[in-house]
Structure 1
Amino acid sequence: MLRQTPPNGLPFMKMHGLGNDFVVLDHREGGVAVTPELATRIADRHRGVGFDQLAVIEAAGNADARLTFYNADGSLSAACGNATRCIARYLMEESGTQGLTLLTDRGALPCVDAGEGLTSVNMGAPLTGWQEIPLAREADTLHLPLEGDPVGTSMGNPHCTFFVEDAEAIDLATLGPATEHDPLFPERTNVQFAHLIGPDHLRMRVWERGTGITLASGSSSCAVATAAHRRGLTGRKVTIELDGGPILVDWREDGVWMTGPTAHVFTGTWHG
């Protein structure tokens, strides 16, 4: 049964994937009802715990678990690739299995142990229709009608990808929020700036909707890789260099597989 307040504190786990950090609440046997207000209090890096996203694990009859994601501003997100990978690793180690399925608003996501400490998640097929992203009006998603000629993609959440000469030179703190809140995106958007390093090798920086600049983003990596292939810049299997390190994205027939490391940093109790 859900409680409105945690009388003895709120147990949580802190995890990260390439520096993209999460507070994870394991509510498979019940727990505190998470509200946007509670999520933002926990997200406060000075008075709370701090996170890029918060993930809640719940029991699911038709999958190994169900995940719900909150951004740092308390808004919901249908997809969070790095958190999904972290939780998949945690649950596989708990159960001793090499694979499982996690249910999200994005759909049922297969996850497998990729060996050498890496975890792979199938994030599903990219959505490229203007209504699927969604956009406020009909537009060519391969060439969005914005300065910089970005690509629009949905991986369960909206993405806007700019291919530039040098991602390092971009003023991400200014251009990120301006694009996130552009009227073209009625649900706001994640924003990426990427440049080609070499064959099937990209450098990417990211501004996440509802959070800001992050060291990595799994769903953004999938969006960038598929956008690069659609533009003819790369093949379907791409290594992406993020601020937090490299991630491998492989757009297969059954969906976009993302492979990378995970870390369970610590377990604690929040008394905020």
Structure 2
Amino acid sequence: MILDFLKIEGLGNDFVVIDNRENIIKDYSLITRKLCSRRFGIGGDGVLFVENSEEADCEMIIYNADGSYAAMCGNGIRCFAKYVYEKKICMCNPITIKTGDGIKKAYLELENDKVENVKINMGKESFNPKNIPLVGEEEFINKTIVAGNKEYRVTSLLMGVPHTVVLGALKDIDINEGAFIEKSEYFPKGTNVNFCEVINNEYIKVKTWERGAGATLACGTGSCACAVVTSKLGLTNNKVTVEVPGGKMMVEVNENEVYMIGPCNIVFEGTIEI
């Protein structure tokens, strides 16, 4: 089978996009693992599948590089919005996009009819252990856990997908430590892990170990999770610049919702035989 694809990135978090509105792909997990292989495929942190929707302008289905399903991805949905607009699948602004975490609105910043930046209403976070999920009935807010024979002070929440935030100086951490936390016994379905350093009340730095993908150059939902946690703990204002290895984005935390603003860029497009 020959597939048309587009490779796109948001702050270095890279994705393959497939238009699946005609239901060509049946096994999302298998196809994703093949496409995301950086040696034998196209290479990417995940695959975004464009689907029809009766509830929104379109639907985004996302699978991580290891073939696991993800309900939501912040960088991914910005890239997805650029794709469906520039491919003239959805020519409205804002675009409503159905995800596994509900319907999201994407507000497009256009220049010469090209999408330069996208603002996403990410919805509201949840610290409820059942929603994340966590073991037990206690919220993980500034809680000590042990993973890989090391203690960490963490805060865990659902920001579309499960996230755990570890505060501290980034120079003192090895991003690969995220693997121990991701699969630790506290998180029955695993967790994304964000190491976050507060520079001042308007600026934070974040490195993310993504569940199912490993170390990434950027994570949109992870950046939002860090902004929510630092705001909740009184360390930052409600609007912060988040610096990730792939660049910078803005996150605004309001009482009922979180907004993320950032860029997205097309890398290349083509066809692949699978």
| Cα distance in 1 between the residues matched to 2:120 and 2:144 | 32
Deviations 1:56-75 (A, max 9, x none): 11010110111111111100
1:98 positional shift: 2.5
* Counterpart position of 1:158: 162
TM-score, normalised to structure 1, is 0.93
| Cα distance in 2 between the residues matched to 1:126 and 1:211 | 22
1:115 positional shift: 5.2
Q: Is the partner of 1:121 in helix, strand or coil?
A: strand
| Cα distance in 2 between the residues matched to 1:87 and 1:134 | 27
1:168 maps to 2:171: yes
Counterpart AA for 1:128: F
1:144 positional shift: 2.9
CA RMSD of aligned residues (A): 1.4
| Cα distance in 2 between the residues matched to 1:156 and 1:137 | 20
Instruction: For structure 1, list consecutive stretches of 5 or more residues without a partner in the other structure.
Output: 1-5
1:145 positional shift: 3.5
* Counterpart position of 1:109: 104
1:265 maps to 2:257: no
* Counterpart position of 2:93: 98
Counterpart AA for 1:132: N
Instruction: For structure 2, list consecutive stretches of 5 or more residues without a partner in the other structure.
Output: 146-150
Q: Is the partner of 2:227 in helix, strand or coil?
A: helix
Deviations 1:22-48 (A, max 9, x none): 011111233222332221111110001
1:254 positional shift: 4.3
| Cα distance in 1 between the residues matched to 2:201 and 2:256 | 23
* Counterpart position of 2:221: 219
Counterpart AA for 2:171: E
| Cα distance in 2 between the residues matched to 1:56 and 1:92 | 15
| Cα distance in 2 between the residues matched to 1:168 and 1:220 | 19
* Counterpart position of 2:138: 139
* Counterpart position of 1:54: 47
| Cα distance in 2 between the residues matched to 1:61 and 1:243 | 37
Residues 92 and 99, structure 1, Cα contact 8 Å, conserved in 2: no
TM-score, normalised to structure 2, is 0.92
| Cα distance in 2 between the residues matched to 1:176 and 1:66 | 30
1:199 positional shift: 2.1
Residues 62 and 70, structure 2, Cα contact 8 Å, conserved in 1: yes
Task: Choose between structure 1 and 2: higher strand proportion.
Answer: 2
Deviations 1:78-137 (A, max 9, x none): 011111011112223324432110000100001101456211111110011111111011
Residues 200 and 236, structure 2, Cα contact 8 Å, conserved in 1: no
Residues 201 and 239, structure 1, Cα contact 8 Å, conserved in 2: yes
Residues 28 and 63, structure 2, Cα contact 8 Å, conserved in 1: no
1:196 maps to 2:198: yes
Counterpart AA for 1:100: I
| Cα distance in 1 between the residues matched to 2:138 and 2:253 | 24
Counterpart AA for 1:227: V
**In the alignment, which of 63, 69, 72 is matched to residue 76 of structure 1?**
69
Residues 139 and 145, structure 1, Cα contact 8 Å, conserved in 2: no
1:170 positional shift: 1.0
| Cα distance in 2 between the residues matched to 1:61 and 1:262 | 26
| Cα distance in 2 between the residues matched to 1:266 and 1:34 | 24
Within 5 A, what are the aligned runs for 1:246-265?
246-265=248-267
Length, aligned pairs only: 263
| Cα distance in 1 between the residues matched to 2:33 and 2:84 | 26
% same residue: 36
